[in-house]
Structure 1
Amino acid sequence: MKRKSWAVALAVLLLSLVLVACGGGSSSDDGSGSDQKVITYALWDKEQAPVYQEIAKDFEKENPDVKVKFEITPFAQYFTKLETAITGKNAPDVFWVNIPRAPDYINNGVLMPVDDVKFDKDKIPEQYLKAYSKDGKLYGVPKDFDTNALFYNKKMFDDAGISYPDDTWTWATWQDAAKKLTKADENIYGLAAPLTWQGGYYDTIYQNEGSPFVDKGKKSGFSDQATIDGVDFWYSFTKNGSATPLKDMAGTTGSELLLNGRVAMSIEGSYMVPVIFKEKYGKDNIDVAPLPKGKTRATTSNSLANVISAGTKNEDAAKRWVAFLSTKEASEKVAESGVVIPAYQGAADAWINAYPDKNLKVFTEAVDYAVPLPNTKNSSAAIAIESDVLSKAWTGEESIEAACKELADKANALLNK
């Protein structure tokens, strides 16, 4: 996804510190003269909005003094709009943040600690709580998580006489199947292998026991051989012709190619389940399997959290809303909608049952070997330059090793700022 420069974003956030300290948040009434507090809730996924609006109705029944006002902004514009609101002392009372964004918001004082918000902390996976914590304080309550799996086209496997992917697959199995499923003369390929970090070379880096960041995030790991080899494996599908050529990936996605019958396999996150399986083609022909195993089994993972603006004028109402969103009952309602996997352990069963004929348990089982996305100081700035540098390898201008080492040097310059 296209994102604004983190150098600009950080400058905006630093400016916001002074402004946030002076106050902020939404108006504490609805303009009608009543004592009802109106709290704003900002999110970016219109697919998730309906179920949260239903939850808001339940909340308002139990809290008649509070009205929840939704602000839904597409992801591409979400953080730009949010940062503008922060500098204008008009940040939403409660909003979504993801793991990569969390440290910059926490470090710059944008978020209010939520340690006194009552929720079943023991029901949230520790790695996601850790991602929203600093110096012993919690700054967000994880609401969901995602992991990745291998989506595959059963019809294409059947036609090729290849057994479906399962947990016995290794890197070698994966490569062999991709080659056999490729019909380049028909523009059909075994795998969609875009030049992307999440759902791409980060997964194979971790499967090879490498890491894009080392020394607690203070240094790039792209000069380490395990990381280089992990990137090289992901590139190998493109190099050997079993993945859709990079030029043909422009303007499309792996999920679109999968739904068009143009690729047999694609790594996708659990958040793509409602997108892929609401389509008749996807429902009839596609299922999911665990990601193949390299030296180890691994997948990247993200988690969104509900956070509270440090400048809110409605602290009590905002904390009540976050607490309500974090209950088992609210989590189960989200799960039943099928849009996302709740972070609340046990509630995910309802999400799996929303698509009973699909092998969705692979996503929830992946929590045991999931690696949260990087979220240390300036890691987002370092990630932002990866595609430009690594594209030199994908186009043949540099070797994978040379591109990775160039990336390490440039990333270290950003990480040391």
Structure 2
Amino acid sequence: MDTRTTRRALAGAAAFAALALSGCTGDAFGDDSGRETITYWLWDSAQQPGYQQCADDFEASQDDYAIRIEQRGYDDYWTSLALGLVSESAPDVFTDHLSKYPEYVSRGLLAPLDEYIERDDVPLDIYEDGLADLWIGQDGKRYGLPKDWDAVGLFYDEADLADAGLTADDVAHMTWNPDDGGTYEDVIARLTVDTNGVRGDEPGFDKDHIATYGLWMEGGGGPNFGQTQWAQYAVANGWEFTDQNPWGTHFNFDDPAFVETIAWWQSLVEKGYMPDFASQQGAKPSDQIAAGTAAMTADGSWMIGTYLGYDGVDVGMAPNPEGPTGQNASMFNGLADSIVKDTDHPEGAWQWVRYLASPACQNVIGERHVVFPAITEAWETARDAYAADGVDVSAFTDHVENGTTFLFPIADHAGDVTAVLQPAFDSIMSGADVESTLTGANEEINRLFE
């Protein structure tokens, strides 16, 4: 094992150990004697210290409520929440996701916030454009107040880039098309190295024995509408998910613009530039960058701290490539805090949600710059905090400032849609015929809305 590989292995092990320890922090904040205790669930341990500070500040601002924060890993989080909602052991307030809340609303599990918002004259124009309205259900009621936003960009190993004879400027101005992949595919091929040290754009390249993939993906993207996998390319090719968003009733996964996009995406696997489903299953892209098995990956802004946290591995960031539309694109997703309808503490839960969505809390989150808060001034604080650390996050913030984002698709039957999409895209990553697979999946999904 060479020095660089050893360094990377140790960096990955250290990061894993740090992550494991981060989930062991306490979940009680302040002295709750004589107060109603409001339970709040998070899934991101990296954000927990910031929200602990918000909880401490909230408790200091009043005498009626104490906050107990509980943090779970992402997969366990939703399983525990589903069990809690049916067994009356759910939290009072929880971090909600756009892919989940339509189903919770349809089952009558969330408390609408409209009366509270009107009563307390809560401003909704302080959030980045579009975020607040994402949480209005089909019934016209609001079920969450925005907490943050995220965008998608590229992370790459700066040493791999230099070894390939490429510069940061090369990856900052890439173009893409579904026919030959444009300069984006040229870069991916150049960054791919087989076990004999031959690059993907050189004679004698062995696509079946790869030491470093030029691009690494995490799964087929079915559970999250390809947020970090393929959505950015498809939309940059002029495609739209549904007939309208939010609350579309007809999906377009059989559209030719989408089919040709996914056929190109699959071709990266066939050429050996990207791992197939079996090879990458369960392997996080950030860990592959640290280990040296990937040179570049597309990932979300919520992962910036993780990529920059590996000792001895210098990671750069670049925007998604410009597509045939003449623009690059990124999914614009935003989390919110929601109140469980059957909470025993509705007023306390509301006061906590209101505080979480306020400048007082979101500026604290911005100063810690783990994620970009929903309030414009707070995410600008996060951007400035990154800059003070010498980190340029424009690969993500430019999407918001330039208006090149598209919204996470919100529709009924979210769980059923995911149940169709996940095996479809996993099979495509495993070599299935793209057009017939997408046509069949699209027909099955659209039958849900008949």
Kindly tell me: are residues 253 and 91 of structure 1, through their superposed partners in 2, closer, same or farther at Cα, counting changes over 3 Å?
closer
Kindly tell me: are residues 178 and 166 of structure 1, through their superposed partners in 2, closer, same or farther at Cα, counting changes over 3 Å?
closer
Alpha-carbon distance in structure 2 between the residues aligned to 1:248 and 1:393: 14
Secondary structure, in 3 states, of the residue corresponding to 1:192? coil
CA contact (8 A) 2:254 2:438 kept: yes
Deviations 1:325-371 (A, max 9, x none): 12212111111212211011021133224433222122122222222
Deviations 1:291-327 (A, max 9, x none): 1111232112321101112222322222211111122
Match of residue 323, structure 1, among 354, 367, 370:
354
Deviations 1:66-120 (A, max 9, x none): 1112222221111222222222234322111111112111222211122233543
Whether 1:387 and 2:397 are equivalent positions in the alignment is no
CA contact (8 A) 1:332 1:347 kept: yes
CA contact (8 A) 1:390 1:407 kept: no
Q: Which residue of 1 aligns with 2:212?
A: 188
Match of residue 375, structure 1, among 403, 410, 422:
410
CA contact (8 A) 1:206 1:230 kept: no
Whether 1:399 and 2:433 are equivalent positions in the alignment is yes
Q: Which residue of 2 aligns with 1:22?
A: none
Whether 1:411 and 2:414 are equivalent positions in the alignment is no
Secondary structure, in 3 states, of the residue corresponding to 1:300? strand
* AA of the residue aligned to 1:183: V
Alpha-carbon distance in structure 2 between the residues aligned to 1:142 and 1:350: 17
Aligned residues: 382
Bigger Cα displacement from structure 2, 131-140 vs 270-279:
131-140
Whether 1:168 and 2:208 are equivalent positions in the alignment is no
Q: Which residue of 2 aligns with 1:156?
A: 160
Deviations 1:7-38 (A, max 9, x none): xxxxxxxxxxxxxxxxxxxxxxx997x4x211
* AA of the residue aligned to 1:121: L
Whether 1:177 and 2:187 are equivalent positions in the alignment is yes
Whether 1:142 and 2:166 are equivalent positions in the alignment is no
Secondary structure, in 3 states, of the residue corresponding to 2:304? helix
Kindly tell me: are residues 387 and 315 of structure 1, through their superposed partners in 2, closer, same or farther at Cα, counting changes over 3 Å?
closer
Kindly tell me: are residues 386 and 154 of structure 1, through their superposed partners in 2, closer, same or farther at Cα, counting changes over 3 Å?
same
* AA of the residue aligned to 1:382: V
Kindly tell me: are residues 359 and 237 of structure 1, through their superposed partners in 2, closer, same or farther at Cα, counting changes over 3 Å?
farther
Deviation for aligned residue 1:266? 0.3
Alpha-carbon distance in structure 2 between the residues aligned to 1:257 and 1:136: 44
Alpha-carbon distance in structure 2 between the residues aligned to 1:232 and 1:127: 32
Kindly tell me: are residues 154 and 119 of structure 1, through their superposed partners in 2, closer, same or farther at Cα, counting changes over 3 Å?
farther
* AA of the residue aligned to 2:158: K
Q: After the TM superposition, which residues 53-64 of structure 1 pair with which residues of structure 2 at under 5 Å, given as runs? A: 53-64=52-63
Deviation for aligned residue 1:415? 4.0
Bigger Cα displacement from structure 2, 70-79 vs 268-277:
70-79
Alpha-carbon distance in structure 1 between the residues aligned to 2:140 and 2:41: 26
Deviation for aligned residue 1:122? 0.8
Quote the RMSD (CA, aligned, Å).
Answer: 2.1
Q: After the TM superposition, which residues 243-258 of structure 1 pair with which residues of structure 2 at under 5 Å, given as runs? A: 243-258=274-289
* AA of the residue aligned to 1:364: T
Q: Which residue of 2 aligns with 1:233?
A: 264
Structure 1 gaps of 5+ residues are: 1-29
Deviation for aligned residue 1:181? 1.5
Deviations 1:218-242 (A, max 9, x none): 1221111111122123223222222
Alpha-carbon distance in structure 1 between the residues aligned to 2:343 and 2:422: 37
Secondary structure, in 3 states, of the residue corresponding to 2:113? coil
Deviation for aligned residue 1:57? 1.0
Secondary structure, in 3 states, of the residue corresponding to 2:163? helix
* AA of the residue aligned to 1:86: L
CA contact (8 A) 1:228 1:404 kept: yes
Alpha-carbon distance in structure 1 between the residues aligned to 2:434 and 2:193: 26
CA contact (8 A) 2:153 2:317 kept: yes
CA contact (8 A) 2:174 2:321 kept: yes
Secondary structure, in 3 states, of the residue corresponding to 1:287? strand
Q: After the TM superposition, which residues 16-415 of structure 1 pair with which residues of structure 2 at under 5 Å, given as runs? A: 34=34, 36-115=35-114, 116-117=116-117, 118-134=121-137, 135-164=139-168, 165-171=170-176, 172-185=182-195, 186=197, 187-194=211-218, 195-196=220-221, 197-214=226-243, 216-282=247-313, 285-296=314-325, 297-356=328-387, 357-367=390-400, 368-396=403-431, 398-415=432-449
TM-score (norm 2): 0.80
Kindly tell me: are residues 247 and 310 of structure 1, through their superposed partners in 2, closer, same or farther at Cα, counting changes over 3 Å?
closer
Secondary structure, in 3 states, of the residue corresponding to 2:57? helix
CA contact (8 A) 1:101 1:375 kept: no
Secondary structure, in 3 states, of the residue corresponding to 1:385? helix
Secondary structure, in 3 states, of the residue corresponding to 2:150? strand
Secondary structure, in 3 states, of the residue corresponding to 1:364? helix
Secondary structure, in 3 states, of the residue corresponding to 1:137? coil
Structure 2 gaps of 5+ residues are: 1-30, 177-181, 198-210
Where has structure 1 moved over 6 Å in runs of 4 or more?
A: none
TM-score (norm 1): 0.86
* AA of the residue aligned to 1:79: W
Alpha-carbon distance in structure 1 between the residues aligned to 2:94 and 2:231: 27
* AA of the residue aligned to 2:166: I
Q: Which residue of 2 aligns with 1:11?
A: none
Bigger Cα displacement from structure 2, 56-65 vs 71-80:
71-80
Bigger Cα displacement from structure 2, 168-177 vs 380-389:
380-389
Alpha-carbon distance in structure 2 between the residues aligned to 1:159 and 1:347: 38
Secondary structure, in 3 states, of the residue corresponding to 1:87? helix
* AA of the residue aligned to 2:399: A
CA contact (8 A) 1:41 1:94 kept: yes
